Each structure stands twice: as structure tokens, then as C-alpha cells.
Amino acid sequence: QVELVESGGGSVQAGGSLRLSCAASGGSISRYAMGWFRQAPGKEREFVAGIKWGDGRSLYSNSAEGRFTISRDNAKNTLYLQMNSLRPEDTAEYYCARARFPSGLATAREIDYQYWGQGTLVTVSS
């Protein structure tokens, strides 16, 4: 059973930065696409960023494009999300996820991800 544990969340002022981490155990992430999703209070969970296995090709939501960077360290079995120029609307619980099947592209669809972390809270104040 794969376990994903997020960390790095916290409170920051608008314009600040945070780096989220997602440590995997019980299974490898190296051959799987990985993704970050978020859920703001009262809203549905939404895709933020994804990264393909292998060449690390990435995919971003319109909101994240240009401000967030997803990366992975397969040797450490860890996924990252560098978030810069944070805005109050980025306030949410952030979740990492591992794709359901190996050797695939990163997608924005929750159904394509099998394992999920418990989330880490990011709060951005104005």
C-alpha cells in the first residue's frame, strides 16, 4: 500500500513563497505520473500541476502556470511543488497523488490517480 505524506504548508503573506513536499513510502513513484491538487473551503478539489514519469514533462492549471513549479526526486521518492507569488485565492488544502497506472502522462483528472495524501494546508493572507 502506497502512502503519501505532504508537508511544507503554512501561513504566508501574499507575494510570498512556499515549497510543498510529498514523501512516498510503500511503493515507488519513479515510473508513475504524479500530481498536485487543491481544495479551497467550500469548493471542489481542483488540479494544480502534474509531472510525467521519465522526462518529467509537466502540466499546469491556468492559475498555477508561471508561478508554480512541480518537480520530483525519484531517488528520494519525493514530489515537490514550489509556489511563488502566492495569492489569497491560493489558500487551500493541497494534496499530492500518484497515478493509477505506470508509464503514463500527467493528467488533470482525479480518476487517473489512485493514491492520495492527507493534505497540507496553505493559507495566504492579503
In the chain, the amino acid numbered 119 is: G
What's residue 54's pLDDT?
Answer: 81
Instruction: Identify the pLDDT of residue 90.
Output: 98
Distance CA 71, CA 33 (A): 11
Sign of CA dihedral 77, 33, 9, 17: positive
Average pLDDT, the chain: 96
92 and 39 Cβ atoms separated by less than 8 Å: yes
Taking residues 3-32, report their average pLDDT: 97
Question: Residue 36 pLDDT > 90, yes or no?
Answer: yes
pLDDT one-digit tens code per residue, 43-80: 999 999 999 988 889 999 999 999 999 999 999 999 99
Quick one: cell of 38? 487543491
Q: In the chain, count H helices and then E strands.
A: 0, 11
